[in-house]
Each structure stands twice: as structure tokens, then as C-alpha cells.
Amino acid sequence: MSSWPHITHRQATALAAFLHELRGDWDTAGIVAQIGYARDLAPGPDVAIAAIRAAMSATNRTPGVIPLQGEHWRTASSVVTRRPLEAHERCAICNQGQARCEQLAALPDDGHAFTPAGPRSAAVDETTGEVLHTRDPGEVLAQVRAELAARKPATTTEKELHHAQH
């Protein structure tokens, strides 16, 4: 693992201003946010290089690709080595890292909050950081549906019953 530190917010803001100059169609605040999601994937210089490479590709329409795996993370000789995520950094529902989970949770049809996987985690390829085994999609969907159903407001009767019991 590199001895370089993670990218700081100040550095991310400066890098975002530069990237916005390269890609006027990319919003500066959005770039800062995506760099923030990528900050734990690699040391600061590697995140900066990946962000610049992502901006250089005309096929990348938004800065949302920065924290995702792709060619922009490749070095001249190999893939940037990423530290495998520990169980508490991986979501038990979607099996993604916390930053990616929170991105997905913002989508209209997702609806789950980050839930640490605990001491047991999925196997991760140490070279790419890619999840090797994921949970059954049906199991994940059932859990998300149950969480969404639990969020529905309680009826007056249920509220009164709850207050009466406590």
C-alpha cells in the first residue's frame, strides 16, 4: 500500500476546478462529490490521475464514473491496487462499499440505507477491488422491499397502540 495520504477536501476542490475547465459540462460540485466517493479507493495522487483520465474520455458524460471501476483507474503497467473493503465498510444489503451504496440509495427505486455487513464480508479481488461473490439478487430485493414497507407511516391506531404500550 502506498504511503501517500487520501486526497483532502481542499485538494479535491482544486482538482474539481481544473476538471471543470477541461469538461465544462461537468458541474464542479458534482466533481467534488465524486472525488469524495473515490477518496478511500486509492491514495490521493492515484485518485487525481483517475479523475483526470475519466474527464479526458468523451464517453464519460458525468463525473459519476470517477469512483467506478474502469480504464481511468489503470496505470501504464497495471491496475491501481486498492485496499479490500473490510466488512464494516461494505453494505450488508447491496454488498457495495459505503460511498457507492449511498450513491445507489439516492436512486428513486432503491430506498435502503447503508447497513454495515459486520464481521463477515464478501471476497474481494485485491488487484481490482472487485467483489467476487455477491448476495442473491432476489434476497437483496426482498430485504429492500421489506425496508420500504417498514417505512410506511403508521396508522393512527398503530400509533395509539404503540404509545399505550410504552
- Tens of pLDDT, residue by residue over 28-56, are 999 999 999 999 888 999 999 999 999 99
Name which residue leads in pLDDT, 162 or 50: 50
What integer pLDDT is reported at residue 53 of this predicted model?
93
- Rounded to the nearest 5°, which phi and psi values hold at 93? -90, -50
Query: Percentage helix, strand, coil, to 5, in the chain?
Result: 50, 5, 45
Decide which of 110 and 96 is more confident: 96
- Cα–Cα distances in Å, from 128 out to 18, 66, 74, 131, 165? 27, 15, 10, 9, 52
> What is the structure's pLDDT at 127?
57
Rounded to an integer, the average pLDDT of 52-79 is: 84
pLDDT, residue 100, reads 81
φ, ψ of residue 36 in degrees (nearest 5):
-60, -40
Q: Is the pLDDT of residue 18 over 90?
A: yes
Which of 33-47, 54-68, 76-90, 112-126 shows the lowest mean pLDDT across its residues?
A: 76-90
Kindly state the average pLDDT of the residues 47-72: 93
**Rounded average pLDDT over 97-101:** 82
pTM for this model (two decimals):
0.47
Amino acid at 129: G
pLDDT higher for 137 or 84? 84
Given this model, what pLDDT does residue 156 score? 46
Model confidence at 119: pLDDT above 90 = no
Q: Which residue has the higher pLDDT, 147 or 80?
A: 147
